[in-house]
Structure 1
Amino acid sequence: MKRFYVFGFLLLMTFDTLSQISFKYAGDSALPVQASIGWLLRVFSQPWVYGAVLGYVGAFFTWMALLKHAPIGPAFAASHLEVVSVMLLSIWLFDEHLTLPRVLGAIAIVAGIVCLGLAEDREHAPEPAEA
């Protein structure tokens, strides 16, 4: 079952990351924003818009499959790992800077997920036998 969780959350993070990166690319290519049919056609002619839709659909179905089996607390926390992956990819893809607040935020996210996972393991661990 742990393999299911690891694979499932990696897949969820991949889909969520694809959505966020695709939205960034689509947004960059949609500038300047205009209230016109031409602008809408320009937006929907970008392949990144469809990458974002694919990411959201994939994330939805992956999340639904995970919720059938995973405990909700750690599952909800782990579903936010894309914040860290998007931050790291944005350094490479968009020349964004890695700042101390971002690093501390990423560490806090990962630490919170680890703490919730450990708490869930302890809660479901078998009780030691009394002597």
Structure 2
Amino acid sequence: MRRLYLVGFPLLMTFDTLAQLCFKLAGDGALPVEANTAWVLRVLSQPWVYGAILGYIGAFFTWMSLLKHAPIGPAFAASHLEVVSVLLLSAWLLHEPVGPLHLLGAALIVAGIVCLGVAESDDPHSPAPAGDMQE
């Protein structure tokens, strides 16, 4: 089960991050927006559109697999780690500005996820994940 978490959550974060970064790049390439067929064809000719679709599909199937086994509270929180990864990768790859408040927010997100994970693992009354239940 631990291996599922060690592989599943980073995979989910990777797919989510891919989708968000590709969506941003596709959006930048879609400008200026025009209401005509040429604009639609221009948008559909960008590889970033397909990267975003691949990211969303991969994240969906990874998330559905994780929900079968992971406790919902920490799983839901951990699924939002892509906010931190997108922030960091956007700063590095896209030269987006990152200020102290961004970093504080990222640290609070990570701290919240850690707190939920610790609380869930320490709670003796916490229900077992769906994949661990005995029939």
Deviations 1:46-78 (A, max 9, x none): 010000000000000000000000000000000
The residue that corresponds to 1:92 in the other structure is: 92
1:58 and 2:58 are equivalent in the alignment = yes
Q: Aligned-pair distance for 1:41? A: 0.6
The residue that corresponds to 2:76 in the other structure is: 76
Alignment of 1:102-117 (within 5 A): 102-117=102-117
Q: Normalized against structure 2, the TM-score is what?
A: 0.90
The residue that corresponds to 2:26 in the other structure is: 26
Q: Aligned-pair distance for 1:94? A: 1.3
- Aligned residue for 1:80, secondary structure, equals helix
- Aligned residue for 2:70, secondary structure, equals coil
Alignment: residue pair count: 125
CA RMSD of aligned residues (A): 1.1
Letter of the 1:8 counterpart: G
- Aligned residue for 2:80, secondary structure, equals coil
CA distance in 2, matches of 1:18, 1:27: 14
Structure 1 segments of 4 or more deviating over 6 A?
none
Q: Aligned-pair distance for 1:124? A: 4.0
CA distance in 1, matches of 2:5, 2:18: 20
CA distance in 2, matches of 1:47, 1:124: 48
- Aligned residue for 1:62, secondary structure, equals helix
Gaps of 5+ in 2: 126-135
CA distance in 1, matches of 2:20, 2:6: 21
Q: Percent of pairs identical after alignment?
A: 70
- Aligned residue for 1:121, secondary structure, equals helix
The residue that corresponds to 1:49 in the other structure is: 49
Gaps of 5+ in 1: 126-131
